[in-house]
Amino acid sequence: MNGIFPIALLAVITAGTVPASAMSLSFSWGSTKDCFDKNSPPMSLSGVPAGAKKLKFRMVDLDAPNYPHGGGTVNWPGGSSGNLPYGAFRYTGPCPPSPHTYQFTVDAFDGSGKKLATAKAKKRFP
């Protein structure tokens, strides 16, 4: 009988600390044409943590990781999911001499600047 109580207590404590679903990111190249296009592609997010106020994006060419594509920051209106339209932030668009794979990373921050979550998505261009 003594061994059952600690196990039951551990189950109750563990159940209260299960993390929320992970944040996810997806995107399509949409209207993105080439390296002269400085507008971000349309993006969709889900699982954005409560309290997120800003989303910081950056893009890396996985075939040329030293190329400085940069990214941008947008204010998040709240809610666990939403869409960002084409051109939500400015960056240096994809400009490969042949098809390359690009990865966007987004970090969600609260009002004090604390990072709450990260998500990544990758896609080939063109």
CATH number of domain containing 113: 3.90.280.10
| Percent of the chain's residues with pLDDT above 70 | 83
Residue 28, in any domain of the structure: yes
How many domains in the chain? 1
Residue 54, in any domain of the structure: yes
Residues in the chain predicted with pLDDT less than 50, given as ranges, are 5-20
pLDDT for the residue numbered 84: 96
* Domain hosting residue 35, numbered range: 21-125
Residue 65, in any domain of the structure: yes
Structure tokens at 105: 């990373």
Residue 96, in any domain of the structure: yes
- In angstroms, rounded to a whole number, what is the distance separating the alpha carbons of residues 88 and 15? 38
- Around Cβ 24, how many Cβ atoms within 10 Å? 16
